[in-house]
Chains A and B, each alone.
Chain A
Amino acid sequence: MFYREAGDFKTSYQDDGQTFPIKLDRFSYYVILGLAAMVVPFVINDYWASAVLLPFLIYAIAAIGLNILTGYAGQVSLGTGGFMAVGAYSVYKLMTSFPDVSILLHILLAGGITALVGIAFGLPSLRIKGFYLAVATLAAQFFLVWLFNKVPWFYNYSASGQITAPERSVLGWAVTGPAASPAAKYLVCLLFVFLAAWVARNLTRGMIGRKWMAIRDMDIAAEIIGVNPLTAKLSAFGVSSFFVGIAGALLFAVYLGAAEVGEAFGINKSFLVLFMVIIGGLGSIFGSFAGAAFMVLMPVVLKNILVGTLGWPTDLAAHIELMIVGALIIFFLIVEPHGLARLWQLVKEKLRLWPFPH
């Protein structure tokens, strides 16, 4: 009843194969997009931008990236934090070396550089699989963080070892640096999220996405039916790192403004993004958004309840948060391995028939 699809008939293959084949879905997508682009920038304030919306959008890009690698291509990676650092440091070097070029272009280029690094660290995936590979990607994590810490060229020989984003603007609006308004930052992130989701969705339902999924489901069988594991795995690493690099660039340049590599891009970031993908749903673009929203909102809500309402000490709340995150991971893996995306699908199935179950 609530979820209407009756009378929504398709007369061409093209209509049938679109991303949102059901009218209700399509319209709600347009409405959400319209609200996000036209209404939110006018009502956004500093707290909402920095506590909820910016991290949500940025981590959604990272989660889409990791989801391509882990959810679609089946290559578990724990190096996400390191690849985000590559994005952040390349955008920093580009911003300071070529101040006249648009920041948007820099962010895309940073994604490209990260893609190359990702492909390099993806090379061992041809020989090693499963958690051997997961552990091997930790090599990327630790090596990259060490590299950015130890080679002063990357942080322009600054005394503190930190990188700080200089002010850059798009169409006269400052989007990085201290003068940037929350709305401008938000719109830049929204633009990249929209592009990332659009590209990822179309890649994953085309030929290349099918190759990734064939490799994920059974790599040897995929090889026999003509999928080249070399190109499939490396393209997954490349595309995934491209998005993760963009997320890292945005996280540093737009959101944080200043970053220190060990703190901002440590191993915990890798796990955070992996958890988003697991909780949201492996192999689902919507799941990446759901997981990112969940992992960003949960600490905020918990902090408000435990510290704000009950008045508990902050460190206790942080530890309880760890317990809840851990328990939720296990819960989702046991009860619903396909995560929030699958739960959402179930809700839709129920609503379709409500109030008459059968």
Chain B
Amino acid sequence: MMDQLIFSAEVLLNGLMTGVMYSLVALGFVLIFKASGVFNYAQGVLALFAALTLVGIMEGQVPFRHLINAAFGTHLENFGWTVGPVMAILLTAGVMVILAIAIEKLVLQHLVGQEPIILFMATIGLAYFLEGLGDVMWGADIKTLDVGLPQGISDSIEQTTANWFGYGFFIDRLDIWATIIAALLVAALVAFSQYTKQGRAMRAVADDHQAALSVGISLQFIWIMVWSIAGFVALVAGIMWGTKSGVQFSLSLIALKALPVLMLGGFTSIPGAIVGGLIIGVGEKLFEFWVGPLVGGATENWFAYVLALIFLVFRPQGLFGERIIERV
């Protein structure tokens, strides 16, 4: 019995850590949704794209080399230099800003005033496009990403818990770092939106587009800014997930994990994204641990969705979401 409890506690802790990672992706969704009412399905692909770009820059790959090689019969490989992690992260952030500008100019500008569901489908198209672009630019092979974050099982925690409970907990050091970075990121985002002029403008746009326009706030600028921030959050999420499981296509599927997190937490709430992520992370790990063996395992694929679905039937706006008011 005691063993079971300790195992469960370990599963719970690991679930919390995974939940933090889900929250990181969900944060990007919330930011864009709050400021522009766009439900950005492409957030996961943004994370993949950011991670691919980061690896590409760090290794000094020639962008589009496969395409150029195929089209002109050349044999380009790498530039022959490597870039340090900090510089590469800065450059990637720059790429994400350019991407945000391009998305605003080419897509969003033309879809102003369309129904939310049309915008949602446009971001699905965007996701496909970016996925193809990332692969054409940097190649589709699985890449390892190492920006110097500590990895592996934490010995000190194992030692301490072994002394306390007689059983060592296995916790990945990367997860601990992810938690710290996520906390810093959220603090920075909250500070930005509360205490800076741009942050206030962002909140004004989120509240009411028309009113914000009429007091002289540039919608375009705010949207570019929001998408850039979302791109940056995607970069952080991409670094975390990329370090953990390699940079590959499946990275973009974490977006699918972030969706139930959002439904649970509410689309408009940053605390909702965090709490929802933790609930889903813990819930799916515990469910897999307790119920999984009875039904054949691999319940992690659907547990989050079914939980969110059942929850939504009782509270359609999510835990922290704004009340949905409809008028004819």
User: Which residues of A are at the interface with B, using a C-beta cutoff of 8 A?
Assistant: 76, 124, 127-128, 130-132, 134-136, 138-139, 142-143, 145-146, 149-151, 218, 220-221, 224, 267, 271, 274, 278, 310-313, 315-316, 319-330, 333-334, 337
| Contact (Cβ within 8 A) B122 A333 | yes
Q: Which A residues touch B110, using CB under 8 A?
A: 334
Q: Which A residues touch B120, using CB under 8 A?
A: 76, 131, 134
Partner of B305, one of A143, A218, A316: A143
| Contact (Cβ within 8 A) A139 B66 | no
Partner of A220, one of B116, B125, B296, B328: B328
Partner of B39, one of A131, A146, A324: A131
A333-B121 contact, Cβ under 8 Å, with A130-B116, A319-B136: yes
Q: How far is the CA of A278 from the CA of B122 in the complex (A)?
A: 10
Q: Which B residues touch A274, using CB under 8 A?
A: 121, 124
Q: What is the 8 Å Cβ interface bit string for chain B, positions 108-142, against chain A (1 contact, 0 not)?
A: 00110010111011101111111111011000100
| Contact (Cβ within 8 A) B136 A316 | yes
Q: Which A residues touch B132, using CB under 8 A?
A: 319-326
7 A-B pairs, CB-CB below 8 angstroms? A139-B308, A145-B301, A218-B328, A319-B132, A326-B125, A329-B125, A329-B128
Partner of A146, one of B67, B299, B312: B299
* B263 at interface by CB-CB < 8 Å: yes
* B309 at interface by CB-CB < 8 Å: yes
Q: Which A residues touch B70, using CB under 8 A?
A: 310-313, 316
| Contact (Cβ within 8 A) B301 A319 | no
Name the CB-closest residue of B to A313: B70
Name the CB-closest residue of A to B317: A132
Name the CB-closest residue of B to A139: B305
A128-B296 contact, Cβ under 8 Å, with A143-B305, A326-B129: no
| Contact (Cβ within 8 A) B302 A139 | yes
B39 → chain A closest CB, angstroms: 5
Q: How far is the CA of A326 from the CA of B67 in the complex (A)?
A: 18
Name the CB-closest residue of B to A124: B313
* B280 at interface by CB-CB < 8 Å: no
Minimum-distance CB pairs A-B, first 3: A326-B129, A329-B125, A322-B132
Chain B 60-98 residues near chain A, CB threshold 8 A: 66-67, 70-71
| Contact (Cβ within 8 A) A322 B129 | yes
| Contact (Cβ within 8 A) A76 B117 | yes
* B259 at interface by CB-CB < 8 Å: yes
* B191 at interface by CB-CB < 8 Å: no
* B316 at interface by CB-CB < 8 Å: yes
Name the CB-closest residue of B to A267: B256
Name the CB-closest residue of B to A221: B328
* B44 at interface by CB-CB < 8 Å: no
| Contact (Cβ within 8 A) B117 A326 | no
Partner of B121, one of A124, A136, A329: A329
Partner of A329, one of B124, B130, B313: B124
B129 → chain A closest CB, angstroms: 3
B64 → chain A closest CB, angstroms: 10
A129 → chain B closest CB, angstroms: 8
A284 → chain B closest CB, angstroms: 16
Q: How far is the CA of A138 from the CA of B262 in the complex (A)?
A: 13
* B3 at interface by CB-CB < 8 Å: no
Q: How far is the CA of A130 from the CA of B110 in the complex (A)?
A: 21
| Contact (Cβ within 8 A) B312 A132 | yes
Q: How far is the CA of A150 from the CA of B297 in the complex (A)?
A: 8
Name the CB-closest residue of A to B307: A139
Q: Which A residues touch B128, using CB under 8 A?
A: 271, 322-323, 325-326, 329
Q: Which A residues touch B313, using CB under 8 A?
A: 124, 127-128
B319 → chain A closest CB, angstroms: 14
| Contact (Cβ within 8 A) B107 A334 | yes
A330-B125 contact, Cβ under 8 Å, with A143-B306, A316-B70: yes
| Contact (Cβ within 8 A) A142 B316 | no
| Contact (Cβ within 8 A) B118 A333 | yes
Q: Which B residues touch A134, using CB under 8 A?
A: 117, 120
